[in-house]
Amino acid sequence: MIQRIKELQKLVEEFSPVNIAEIEEFRLKFLSKKGLITELFNDFRTLNPEEKKIVGVEINKLKQFTTDKLNELKSSLVVSDNSEVELDLSRPGDSFKLGTRHPISIVRNEIISIFTRLGFVVGDGAEIEDDDHNFSKLNFPDDHPARDMQDTFFISSDMNVLLRTHTSSVQAHEMSELKPPIRSLAPGRVYRNEAISARAHCLFHQIEGLYVDKNVSFADLKQTLDYFAKEMFGEKTKIRLRPSYFPFTEPSAEVDVSCTLCGGKGCNVCKETGWLEILGCGMVDPNVFETAGIDPNVYSGFAFGMGIERITMLKYGIKDLRLFFENDLRFLEQFNTAY
């Protein structure tokens, strides 16, 4: 029976009418109460349940395809005075809907655009990483909490191979393989074993920057991040740096921007503080340089990292992280930009 369906499908595909009468004749032959497709449905009743699951789908596909083709022929052809069928060249073409970029991609590209204007070069690395580049070369002690099974997806029994927990692993490779000066940007997916909620996910996106050269200071870091904040959130945006701790930077800081919704006056989004946290940063720890073979007495540098979802939520006022992963067209179609 499947073979009969295929034969009828081929006849429909090859059908090319000369006049309107042929279109109607073809419709009666296939779709009328005594047509060929109706006969297929009659024979379908005699099949066993397992065969019906397969054949029923194919018959419905054939019927829909035949109906669509006949409608297309009727709408695209006109009849001349001598009853010959001609193409209607004045008929407007079929419109098709353009897609839009995902908001994560939009913000990722915008961040990259801002930092490449400062001379940063985009790098890339594997999402499956070894412990050495994900932790050890970044000055993570053996007993650091980030090594715990609850935070990291290990994919080898010896816990030496894992899904990277941050894109800093790309920077660990670059510092070992490249000679300063280094000015790199590392965007990509990262993975952490966390419960999925409105504010957390086991898969998310980061973008991290690294600048290594002679005489790089904390003032260079602050100026770079101030430029980024103004380009991303607006010229009136202010930043503040709060002391913090990261294993691979010393000194380290958390960076806040003035709330874009209330202008720093205080609202429920910024919890009445007037500030929103966007990223972490700091001067590269000398131990990281030594591990990578870079002389910390000659070179200095800074690093920063941010979650792209976090920046996107702040930029567009999105309150639930899960919306980025649900493929809801009502949500995604709100974003349309050149980036």
Q: What is the CATH number of the domain that holds 324?
A: 3.30.930.10
Residue identified by tokens 């709100």 is 334
For residue 299, is it within any domain?
yes
Across all residues in the chain, what is the average pLDDT? 86
126-131: long-range contacts, CB 8 A cutoff, minimum separation 24: 126/164, 127/163, 127/164, 127/188, 127/189, 127/190, 127/191, 128/155, 128/161, 128/162, 128/163, 128/164, 129/161, 129/162, 129/163, 129/164, 129/169, 130/160, 130/161, 130/162, 131/159, 131/160, 131/161, 131/162
Residues 107 and 77 in one domain: no
Residues 236 and 136 in one domain: yes
Residue identified by tokens 């429909």 is 12
Residues 111 and 81 in one domain: no
Strands 275-284 and 249-258 come out as: antiparallel
Residue 235 scores a pLDDT above 50: yes
Residue identified by tokens 């053996």 is 142
The whole-number pLDDT of residue 158 equals: 87
The whole-number pLDDT of residue 81 equals: 45
**Once rounded to an integer, what is the mean pLDDT over residues 225-232?**
95
The whole-number pLDDT of residue 150 equals: 63
Residues 126 and 244 in one domain: yes
Look at residues 87, 120, 152 and tell me which one is the last residue of a structural domain: 87
Q: Which of the 8 DSSP states describes residue 261?
A: T
Residues 274 and 322 in one domain: yes
For residue 97, is it within any domain?
no
Number of H helices, E strands in the chain: 11, 11
CB atoms within 10 A of CB 224: 19
For residue 213, is it within any domain?
yes
Helix axes 20-31, 49-76, angle to 10 degrees: 170
- CB contact at 8 A, 30 and 37: yes
How far is Cα of residue 17 from the mean position of the Cα atoms in its chain?
46
Residue 339 scores a pLDDT above 60: no
Look at residues 63, 87, 111 and tell me which one is the last residue of a structural domain: 87
The whole-number pLDDT of residue 88 equals: 61
Residues 80 and 206 in one domain: no
In terms of Cα–Cα distance, which of 178, 228, 213, 225 is closest to 284? 213
For residue 95, is it within any domain?
no
- CB contact at 8 A, 158 and 140: no
CA distance 60 to 217: 70
Per residue in 26-40, pLDDT (tens digit) is 888 888 888 888 888
- Residue 175, judged by CB atoms within 10 A of its CB (0-12, 13-18, 19+), counts as buried
Residues 202 and 285 in one domain: yes
For residue 260, is it within any domain?
yes
Total tally of structural domains belonging to the chain: 2
- CB contact at 8 A, 58 and 40: no
Residues 16 and 136 in one domain: no
For residue 27, is it within any domain?
yes
In one letter, which amino acid is 279? L
Residue 106 scores a pLDDT above 80: yes
Quick check: helix, strand or coil at residue 7?
helix
Residues 128 and 173 in one domain: yes
Look at residues 54, 87, 120 and tell me which one is the last residue of a structural domain: 87
Residues 111 and 249 in one domain: yes
The residue segments making up the domain with residue 208 are 103-332
Residues 71 and 131 in one domain: no
Percent of all residues in the chain with a pLDDT value above 70, rounded to a whole number: 91
Cα radius of gyration rounded to whole Å, the chain? 31
Most confident of 3-7, 156-160, 184-188: 184-188
Q: What element of type H or E holds 209?
A: strand 203-213
pLDDT band at 286 (very low <50, low <70, confident <90, very high): very high
For residue 118, is it within any domain?
yes
**Once rounded to an integer, what is the mean pLDDT over residues 107-136?**
94
Which one has a higher pLDDT value, 268 or 239?
Answer: 239
Residues 29 and 137 in one domain: no
For residue 24, is it within any domain?
yes
